[in-house]
Amino acid sequence: MGYEEKILKNLVDNYRKSSKDSGKNKINRRTQIKPEKLYKKYNANDGDFEEISRLNQVVNELTVKGFIYSNTETFGTQIQSIYLVDEKILDIEKYLSDKYGYVSKDIRIKKLQMLVDRYKHASPICEKECNLLLKNIINRVIPKNYEELNDVFRAISFIENNEIDLYIREVSIKVYGDSKFFENVTLQTVCTLLRKYSNRSIKENELIDEILMDYHIYKEPQKLCIKGNVVITIADKDVDISGFSEGIEIMASDLQKVQSVKIDSSNFMTIENRTSFLRYKDDDTVTFYLGGYANRFQRDFIKLIYRTNPNVRYMHFGDIDAGGFWIHHNLCEITGIDFALFCMSSDELRNIEYESCLLCLTDKDVIRLKDLKDNDLYVHTINYMLENNIKSEQEIISLNLMDRKVRR
């Protein structure tokens, strides 16, 4: 984003967030932005002179257009503050829209009204949520989850009207035309709303998505996939699985028969994606396929393993992206185990072996990453990802790790 877009977008957003937008302001404060927000070293001794000059030039150009004005220090040329010309707010929004695809607050309000009109009679929960949205519209308040509201309403209206037994991915196909969209994007928000209006708080050992069973929606039969030097005691019989090079699968329905899981290795590692689970092998590490957010069966199995093997080192290996970190965060939270991160740092992102496979962050990635920035465990890597607009999938990392072992 260039300085012109940054300046105008920040000033417009500040104006629309203020009481001036609704006409309820009692004091007419100027809408402003400090140059340090645009270039953090603007007033620093080691600031880039060319960068400062470039910012000053854009301020001059926007002043000539009549969109902004500014004041400078008494004895110098440095800008102290940049101010919006309030009377030009609509012209500026049109300028931003035409040149940069900016969506103005008025347009977002209109879209909210369209959502209300579309879903207010779609289902009981949709109706209640639409009534709340109407209050937002009247007060010109844009909800934080504005971008996902349509997708959430689509799922809620389908689920509340559903009368046949379906699996979660079948619901996702019917609602979104994508078998994974529901699980990956809207499931948590949808289930939170379903619980909110049904007064179904989460019970001990219950996962948030189990409320879907009230609406004839189920997860596919679960399998627990584990590989390595392990002896599983099931129904009073010891089963040594170390001879199975690709590991074994246990049906979740048999979990109640498992009495203990003895690990004869130093490490236990959960792996997010199946390809990496199949690829990764280490004689001193037992691996467990997670497949995303841990379900209740995986959680209970991992907790059983921990009770039997408290001195083993616990690790998690996943994508270096927003989803990967949130899956790890959730795993630690629901199991009560401090899983160390395995190959999920800025070191991997800097590695030239992976450079050609790095991906750019999406807008949703940025939002979800920022929500984790306060966590000391992730902050360094997340800052690097945000500064460089990059992320990585784990499959290339697991492939290279195993290739290195072969070359040795």
List the chain pLDDT tens, one digit each, 408 residues.
Answer: 789 999 999 999 888 888 887 777 767 788 999 999 898 888 888 888 888 899 999 999 999 999 999 998 877 778 999 999 999 999 999 999 889 888 888 888 999 999 999 999 999 999 999 999 999 898 888 888 888 999 999 999 999 999 998 999 999 999 999 998 998 889 999 999 999 998 777 766 677 888 998 999 987 777 899 999 999 999 899 999 999 989 999 988 888 899 999 999 999 999 999 999 999 999 999 999 998 888 888 999 999 999 999 999 999 999 999 999 999 999 999 999 999 999 999 999 999 989 889 999 988 889 889 988 888 999 999 999 999 999 999 999 999 898 877 666
**268 phi and psi, to 5 degrees?**
-125, 125
Helix (DSSP H) and strand (DSSP E) numbers for the chain: 17, 14
Which long-range contacts link 192-201 to residues 24+ away (Cβ below 8 Å)? Answer: 193/125, 193/129, 193/152, 193/156, 194/125, 194/156, 194/159, 197/124, 197/125, 197/128
**CA-closest candidate to residue 324, choices 310, 308, 311, 341:** 341
Strand ranges across the sheet with 340-341: 248-251, 223-227, 285-289, 267-271, 313-317, 340-341
Distances (CA, A) of 271 to 125, 182, 280, 287, 357: 37, 21, 9, 7, 19
pLDDT at res. 204: 66
Query: Would the CA dihedral through 11, 14, 15, 20 be positive or negative?
Result: negative
pLDDT at res. 407: 65
Residue 354 contacts residue 343 (beta carbons within 8 Å): no
Structural domains of the chain sorted by starting position, each given as residue range(s) with its CATH number in brackets: 3-101 (1.10.10), 106-218 (no CATH), 223-407 (3.40.1360.10)
d(CA 149, CA 186): 9
Which residues, 6 or more positions from 12, have their beta carbon under 8 angstroms from its beta carbon? 84, 89, 92, 93, 96, 102, 104
Radius of gyration of the chain (CA): 27
What does the angle CA 78 – CA 79 – CA 80 come to, to the nearest 5 degrees? Answer: 115
d(CA 353, CA 343): 13
d(CA 114, CA 142): 14
**CA-closest candidate to residue 318, choices 271, 372, 355, 251:** 271
Read off the pTM. Answer: 0.56
pLDDT at res. 124: 95
**95 phi and psi, to 5 degrees?**
-60, -45
For strand 285-289 and strand 267-271, is the pairing parallel, antiparallel, or unpaired?
parallel
DSSP 267: E
Around Cβ 338, how many Cβ atoms within 10 Å? 8
Count of CA atoms in the C-beta half-sphere (13 A) of 387: 10
Distances (CA, A) of 288 to 5, 284, 285, 397: 47, 13, 10, 17
Residue 290 contacts residue 271 (beta carbons within 8 Å): yes
Residue 332 contacts residue 338 (beta carbons within 8 Å): yes
Distances (CA, A) of 285 to 199, 248, 381, 395: 43, 15, 25, 18
**CA-closest candidate to residue 383, choices 393, 394, 372, 392:** 372
